[in-house]
Structures are given as structure tokens and as C-alpha cells.
Amino acid sequence: MTNLTTDFIEKINDSYTFSTPSICLGAGILDGQVHAAAAVNIPLRMINRHGLVAGATGTGKTRTLQLLAEQLSDAGVPVFMLDVKGDLSGLHKPGTTNPRILERAALLQKDFVPAGFPVELYSLSGNLGAPMRATVTEFGPLLLGKLLDLNDTQTGVLSVIFKYADDNGLPVVDLKDLRKLVSYLADGPGAAEIKESYGRISASTSGTILRKIAAIEQQGLSELFGETSFDIADLLQRVDGKGVISLLNIADVQHQPMLYSTFLLSLIVEIYNTLPEAGDLDKPKLVFFFDEAHLLFKDASDAFMEQIETVIRLIRSKGVGIFFCTQAPADVPQQVLSQLGNRIQHALRAFTPNGLDALKKTVKTYPRSAFYKIDELLTGLGTGQALITVLNDKGIPTEVAATMLMPPRAEMAPLTQAETLALVSASGTGARYRQAVDSRSAYEMLIERLNSAGNGKEHTEPTGNSKQPPNGQNRRSAEKSLMEQVLGAPITRQIGKEIVRGLFGMLTGRKTRHRSGGLFGV
């Protein structure tokens, strides 16, 4: 053994040996050789300092997420994961051995013992697991505006509509409620009322919002909004001491990234609003894996990014860790990347100018190493290998270590259709969400109000907005005029005092989801 090898093993052991409980990621690699004595670990108490799993397609990112989920579950830490292709359900089933797995286990000097883990299956459509729903109110105007692809002016008007609903005790549960409320305030009896208190809603803006709502419904996504809305307490379960791994299967909506990325962010906000302050814990209450993270930040406004940064910074005090998974660190904005203390970087490919630029930016995010040329290392890592640096139990970054990762112990393939159906059917948690509830909400209340005002003349929901938005300069002038009215309206002056329900413009009012604690909670 050379002096360099001895120094490497000592350095890795000094850097990755902790006085508090940890999970094992693998063993260090130097000059192409795996050194089992150089164990690479991550302390459980630092996982709520968040992390990044990055690397080119096919380098093993998904299996790294599986490895992390398995070990966290063993440690009693519940996990939430986005299952993009539907192939993580195998976590419920013990894996099988093959020559490659046995070879890797031998290099790491670890016994490979297959194991299954407690899993709950969810989906946004309700077709691939228990449905995950949220009310329109819980989504809030900023996230809903992003989902509907509204501009700043239209999102501002949506905030006014939410404010009106709150002030008038109108629960906005589903898209039917929202559609009726927009029509009522733009074209109906509520137009004069909202103009006096909040500012006028133009036909251009209301028409755009209604068409965007219709587009969501035509895509078959209206079932996402409604009751029973998802209770985040169900993400914190344990079975026989193991943390439950909750999987959101989006295989049937993966072509609609704005939908699931926005929903996940709303879930993170709800987790923050619900959980009490926890301080420094020996292990996190929950770890949230956000796959395809670049979709969250795509075309995000400055205000939106500021809110994301705030949530990421503050949620760790609730005992929650968030790991973003994407192809390159450059996919994550600098203000968010700076808060991710744990890095697992798989190989990068520099076959194009953009790839080369991403490589250079990634190298700059790592501390200097006495053992590696990081730019050369990142392009030469094999599948199942990664460059790692984490925060030690004192919050200090560890030595950079090229690492052979542990093989996952559960099945690395999806459950069969029969196994999936059996798992979903046996879930007591999922049973609470399978049946949608159509409670009395804004739609019914406004119909009653219209019928009463109409002296018995029955009103029903209109099929659409008959007013067409103006084109060209007239449309821009109308929206500019609306924005000036919104900025000058009483709501704008009150907003600083009244944002207490959520971080994304969700103003004071009735909530339908879990309601315990939270700095901004009701």
C-alpha cells in the first residue's frame, strides 16, 4: 500500500466517521481501486440540511435515490419520492442477486441481504395508486397561476379572487368552484362589489383564466383538485420501526411536468405550514426526494424563486430534508444550490459546448482535492459511482470522495400489475382518499346567492365566458389598466399584514387540509 493510499484512507476515515448515527453510502475510490476501509457515510442529523443528486442520464441517479430511501427507512425515517417512470414500486419487494451486485458487494466487503420496505402508492390521477388531491384554496394563487401558465397580471387578479373568497367565506375546493367564482366576479352581480373593494376584473383577464381552467379540465386533470385532500400526516408513518416510503407514481402524467412539479411544491409548503418547529434532531422527521428538479425552476419568476428559497431555508427547522435530483447542478438556481449541504454527483458528459460549460460550473462547486483532478474524474465515473461531499455532524463539509455506492437491497424493477393492485387494495391509508367528496362550497353558495337575488329565477353554471378578450394594443392596455387598479387597490396595502395562511400568497381563510401548527399556519 502506497503512502498516497494510506493518506487517502486515513483522510476519508477522519472525514466520514461521526459520533452520531449515520447511513453508509459506499467506499472511497482512488486510482480506480475501491478501498473498503475508506467508508463514506452521511450523518442522519445533517440530512435535513438538504442535498443534491446529479448526473447524466443512465449514470444511476434513480438507484442512488433508492439506496438512500432504503437506509433512511431502516433508520425509521419516512421518505417521500417522486416515481417518474413507475419503477420504484419494487422497493416493497426484496431484490434478487446477480453477478454484478455480488461483485460490488465483495468490493465493498459487505454482505448483500435482500430486503423489502413498507411502501404506500399514490398518483395524481388516482389510476396508479391512491389519489393525491388538494383543494384549490390549498394550492393558492401563485402556484395555481404557475400551473395555469398565467402572466403576472393574471396571477395578481387570481390573488384578488382568492382574497374575495376568503373575506366572504366561500370555500374554493375544486375547479368548478373557481370557474363559478371568476364568472360571478367578472360578469355577474359580484363585478360591482369587487370593483369597489378590490379593483375591476377585465373581460380579457377573466376570459384567459377561464380558458386556462378549461384546458386543465380537458386534459383530465380536474380530479387533482377536491376533497378529501391529502393529509401530510400520512407521510410520517412507520411500520415495525421502519419509515414508510411514500411513492407518487406520475408515469401517466409525466408528459405534464408543470402539473406534478407544482403539486409537489404545494405539498412541501403544506408540510412546512403544518409541522411544528423541531430544532436539532438526531434524525429527520421526513426526507423528500424531488426528482426532475429542473422542472420546478423552469420559467420561474423572481417572486416565485424567492418563495422557493424561503421554504428550502426554513423547512429544515421542521426536521425535513429535501434532496433535489437532476442532470446537472446548473439546473438548480444558485440561491437554492447554496443551501444544499450534501452532494452526490454522478458522471457528467461533456460532448457538447453546453455540456462542457456545465462541467466547468460543477467543478467550481466542489472544494479542492489532494487526491483527484475533479474535472477528469467527473467525466470518468462509472455507473454506480459518484463524487460525494456531505456535512459532518458538526456542519463542516467533508473531504471530496469518489465513491463506489452500495447496491440497493430491494427489487430494482416495478411490481407486477397484480402485486401493485394487491398493495393498493391492502392500504388502509389509501382507502381514505379513493372516494372523492363533493361538499357544499363556493359553487353551491354562489348559485344560492344568484337564485335568491333573481327572485326565484334559477341560475346554473354557464358553459363558458361569452366575452372575447381584445387583441393587440387594446388587450395590453386593458391589462395595464387592470394592473394599475390592482396595485392601487386596498388589497395591495393589506397584503403585508394578511399573509398568514401560506408562503405562496394564500391569504387568511378556511383551510381543508391538516391544520396543526406552523409559523404561517391558521
For 141, 172, 206, 216, 370, the CA distances from 147, given in Å and listed in that order, are: 10, 16, 16, 9, 47
Identify any residues that bridge with 22 across adjacent strands, giving them in sequence order.
Answer: 43
Q: Are 129 and 121 in contact (CB under 8 A)?
A: yes
Q: Where are the domains of the chain?
A: 3-35+61-93+235-382+391-411, 136-225+458-498
DSSP characters over 327-350: S-GGGS-HHHHTT--EEEE-----
Mind listing the pLDDT tens digit of every residue in the chain (522 residues)?
A: 688 999 999 999 999 999 999 999 999 999 999 999 999 999 999 999 999 999 988 888 989 999 999 999 999 999 999 888 888 999 999 999 999 999 999 999 999 999 999 999 999 888 888 999 889 998 889 889 888 889 888 998 999 999 999 999 999 999 999 999 999 998 888 888 888 877 788 889 999 999 999 998 888 778 889 988 899 999 999 999 999 999 999 888 878 877 887 888 888 888 888 899 988 899 999 999 988 788 777 776 676 778 788 888 889 999 999 999 998 888 888 888 989 999 999 998 877 777 788 788 888 888 888 999 998 899 899 989 999 999 999 999 999 999 999 999 999 999 998 998 899 888 888 888 888 888 889 999 999 988 887 644 445 554 444 334 444 444 334 433 433 344 344 333 333 323 333 444 433 233 434 333 333 232
Top CATH class of 3-35+61-93+235-382+391-411 equals: alpha beta
What are the backbone dihedrals phi and psi of residue 40, each rounded to the nearest 5 degrees, phi first?
-110, 115
Q: From 424, 379, 318, 385, select the one nearest 67 (Cα to Cα).
A: 385
Q: Can you give the pTM of this predicted structure?
A: 0.82
Do strands 33-43 and 22-30 pair parallel, antiparallel, or not at all (unpaired)?
antiparallel
Identify any residues that bridge with 121 across adjacent strands, giving them in sequence order.
Answer: 247
Residue 440 φ/ψ region, left for φ over 0, alpha for ψ in the -120 to 50 degree band, beta for the rest: beta
What are the backbone dihedrals phi and psi of residue 166, each rounded to the nearest 5 degrees, phi first?
-65, -45
What are the backbone dihedrals phi and psi of residue 344, each rounded to the nearest 5 degrees, phi first?
-125, 105
Residue 371 pLDDT: 94
Residue 480 pLDDT: 37
Residue 519 pLDDT: 30
pLDDT in tens, 435-464: 888 888 999 999 998 888 764 444 555 444
Share of the chain above pLDDT 70, in %: 86
Residue 461 pLDDT: 53
C-alpha radius of gyration, the chain, whole number: 25
What are the backbone dihedrals phi and psi of residue 453, each rounded to the nearest 5 degrees, phi first?
-70, -25
Q: Which sign, positive or negative, has the C-alpha torsion 298, 299, 305, 311? A: negative
Residue 429 pLDDT: 86
Q: What gap in Å lies between CA 408 and CA 113, rounded to an integer?
A: 10
Please return the burial class of 274, using the count of CB atoms within 10 Å of its CB with bins 0-12, 13-18 and 19+. buried
- End-to-end CA separation in angstroms for the chain: 62
> How far does Cα 256 stand from its chain's mean position?
14
Q: What gap in Å lies between CA 237 and CA 267, rounded to an integer?
A: 16
C-alpha angle 487-491-492 in degrees, rounded to nearest 5: 40
